[in-house]
Copies of this chain bind each other. A is one copy, B any other.
């Protein structure tokens, strides 16, 4: 997977186990063992998932004696949300109205020409 932050975030989210871990952490900070318990998977596997989540900035880990409590970090999720949000107009309203226009034989209007630079200002086109 690419090394840029957004790719790390989306890559981390592209796994049901990791998303379930985040879901659990939404109920509050907890330990690695408790996070692991619902899964049919060894502890090292969970540990790896946590590392992926941490590298993406989706969680952070503290220390409490021999426990390493994990907590959800909203910042990275916000980055993901912000990126996706730039495309909001592609699923909001538009659908019915635009569909109708197209059905009616309207030509490709400026309507679907979006905020030009909106998506991916930091998106290096050839990294």
A residues apposed to B, CB below 8 Å: 1-2, 4, 6-11, 13-16, 19-20, 22-23, 26-29, 38-41, 72-75, 77-78, 80-81, 83-92, 94-95, 108, 112-114, 116, 118-120, 123-127
Contacts and interface: CB of A to CB of B under 8 A. Distances in A.
Given A7-B14, A10-B13, A16-B6, A40 B91 contact: no
Contact of A26 (B13, B23, B90): B90
Contacts of A15: 1-2, 7
Contacts of A123: 16, 19-20, 23
Contacts of A72: 87, 90
Contacts of A7: 14-16
